Structure 1
């Protein structure tokens, strides 16, 4: 399978870096007390450091908003999913537990203040691409059974003509939802710096550690950017 970033995406920000991890033969489970504690600790630490009104100023969040605005997406109406999650936490709410993989991914996302998506490869039948939507693209909303059409000109993440994430990092599809049965998972992390101690690299290290040590799988890692716009896996 191929994963490609359309060249026009880098016109929005030439420093966008997509950290990709392919987790194979994962053994997901129900959330354990230890898993939930990591999530709650991440939430508590975020509340200690930040206030709700500071979320837009966080380095990665500010960059997501800038890219979305350049792409014609109103980040106030369609905030990056992590921005909405961070605001929810800082207003005092706890994230619900879903399963170990989802909850630990949320914990890692909070710890590193970065966008992290996990997609079950069983539903991703065609090549993957971050691109501008075109005629024929469709989206299956979370919890829905019928596809909706996606208008041309929207920044999306797709598998063929099936959109996996609308409005760049706003909302994921029902397709690719990670469940207890998920075995092979595509992790997509969006950052702007891939130096050794960057949030992107730290997140990739954390996910790799979870795949191998918590879920007893194996993984492949890639950085996709302006210099390397396509990978095969």
Structure 2
């Protein structure tokens, strides 16, 4: 299977980088006390360090919003999913416990202020691509049973003509959601730098470590950017 980022995406920001991890033979489970404790600690630290009025100034959030604006998406109406999640936390809310993999991915996202999506590969049957939507693209909203048509010209993450994430990093589909039975998972992280101190590398390291040590799985790891816009896995 291929994963490709259309060259037009890098015209929005030449530094966009997509960290891809393929988790194999994952043994997901109900959330343990230790799993939830990590999530709550991440939430508490975010509340202590970030004020609501400074949320949009967070490095990655600011850049996600800029890319969305340049692509024609209004981030005030369709905020990056992590911005909405962080806003909920900073205002005193807690994320619900779902399962160990989802909760720990959320913890890593909060700890590093980065967009991190996990997609169950059993629901993905065609090549993956980040591109502008085309006529015939469809989307199954979370919790829905009927597909919706996707307007042409919107930045999306898609498998064939089935959109996995609508309006770039706004909302994931019902297809690919992570459950206790998820064992082969496609992780997509979005950053703008990749070095030892970058949130992207740290987050990829954390997810790789969790897949191997917490979930007894294996990992294949890739970096996609303007100089390497396609991979096969």
- Shorter-normalised TM-score: what interval? over 0.9
Q: Helix, strand or coil for the counterpart of 2:204?
A: helix
1:64-143 alignment runs, 5 A limit: 64-143=64-143
Superposition misfits of 4+ residues, deviation over 2 angstroms = none
Instruction: Give the C-alpha shift of residue 178 in structure 1.
Output: 0.3
2:227 is the alignment partner of 1:227: yes
Q: Helix, strand or coil for the counterpart of 1:212?
A: helix
1:182-197 alignment runs, 5 A limit: 182-197=182-197
Unpaired segments ≥5 residues, structure 1: none
Instruction: Give the C-alpha shift of residue 189 in structure 1.
Output: 0.2
Equivalent residue number for residue 200 of structure 2:
200
1:165-176 alignment runs, 5 A limit: 165-176=165-176
2: distance between equivalents of 1:43 and 1:53? 17
1:164-201 CA distance string (max 9 Å, x none)? 00000000000000000101000000000011210000
2: distance between equivalents of 1:154 and 1:55? 25
TM-score scaled by length of structure 1: 1.00
TM-score scaled by length of structure 2: 1.00
1: distance between equivalents of 2:157 and 2:7? 14
1:89-136 CA distance string (max 9 Å, x none)? 000000000000000000000000000000000001000000000000
2: distance between equivalents of 1:48 and 1:207? 24
Q: Helix, strand or coil for the counterpart of 1:96?
A: coil
2: distance between equivalents of 1:80 and 1:205? 23
Unpaired segments ≥5 residues, structure 2: none
